[in-house]
Chains A and B, each alone.
Chain A
């Protein structure tokens, strides 16, 4: 079973106690009535949904019941870090991101990298 660290319970707890609660750091406008329909659509419906590292809200619903944030790798399903609601978005290095560092790149970019690597191998 996947273990998720709850920043409020300060320990790893079984995934069955948690519930996913959508993308994190989606800021609501201070004056929601004043924003345009397009901006409201972006705020309300449009999510980034990348392959790789995502920032999500989770809720320890069958534990302390608190909402918190997590950085999770959708390729490996690994939780990189969890932190309390309201805390700033942490920096995730490409190394920590693992295979996710290769996600969301143009195919040409990937090919370029692998072919330049091949060249290096050949010259060695």
Chain B
């Protein structure tokens, strides 16, 4: 992302990510719009997983609903041959470019906006619009899933017992933040 910012600076246009820096303290949860990150949509057959894991410096998770992290990089299992890789500092696309094994890696950094929901009411806040069972028993720390919130698709990652990262498409981010704000207010009651 630092790279992308530098690139836009030379052309004189300033990139303003959606909802940049917004923070809401409502009821039992704190909602923060997270800083931009590098994101990659990765599709690959089972035979390529080992080579891609080596290149990315982490073991791509192969179990449903699980994630793997190494430093500032996290790989989320989305489907049997699909991962979302999020990186705060490095560039996962560049790392995959060297891999000869069959795969498709697409940069989607600016497609998504991430919102963190944390605090004692975080789980109830998400549960207000997400039909999945988000209890610690079935959705432990490190669990992740593509699912829905209200009427939009999101990807959630449980980062701590009382904290989630919510990834949504940029154009839906207003809706998602408003929805979570309302829900957090209810979660307090």
Residues of A within 8 A of B (CB): 1, 8-11, 13-14, 16-17, 62-66
- Total count of chain B residues near the partner, CB < 8 A: 14
Question: Does B38 interact with chain A (Cβ within 8 Å)?
Answer: no
Cβ contacts A to B, 22 pairs, < 8 Å? A9-B65, A10-B64, A11-B64, A11-B65, A17-B131, A17-B132, A17-B147, A17-B148, A62-B146, A62-B147, A62-B148, A63-B145, A63-B146, A63-B147, A64-B64, A64-B80, A65-B78, A65-B79, A65-B82, A65-B146, A66-B79, A66-B80
Question: Does B153 interact with chain A (Cβ within 8 Å)?
Answer: yes
A8–B146 CB distance below 8 A:
no
Residues of B within 8 A of A (CB): 64-65, 78-80, 82, 131-132, 138, 145-148, 153
Interface secondary structure of B, over-half rule: strand
Closest chain-B Cβ to A9's Cβ sits at a distance in Å of 5
A13–B132 CB distance below 8 A:
yes
CB neighbours of A66 from chain B (8 A): 79-80
B82–A64 CB distance below 8 A:
yes
Nearest CB to that of B152 among chain A residues?
Answer: A62
Q: How long is the Cα–Cα vector from A13 to B139 in the complex, in angstroms?
A: 12
B148–A16 CB distance below 8 A:
yes
Partner of B131, one of A1, A64, A65: A1
Q: How long is the Cα–Cα vector from A11 to B65 in the complex, in angstroms?
A: 10
CB neighbours of B148 from chain A (8 A): 16-17, 62
Q: How long is the Cα–Cα vector from A17 to B148 in the complex, in angstroms?
A: 7
Closest chain-B Cβ to A12's Cβ sits at a distance in Å of 9
CB neighbours of B138 from chain A (8 A): 11
Q: Taking A8-B79, A63-B79, A64-B78 as given, write out 13 further A-B residue pairs in contact, using a Cβ cutoff of 8 Å, ordered by the A residue number.
A: A8-B80, A9-B65, A13-B132, A14-B131, A14-B132, A16-B131, A62-B153, A63-B145, A63-B146, A63-B147, A64-B64, A64-B82, A65-B82
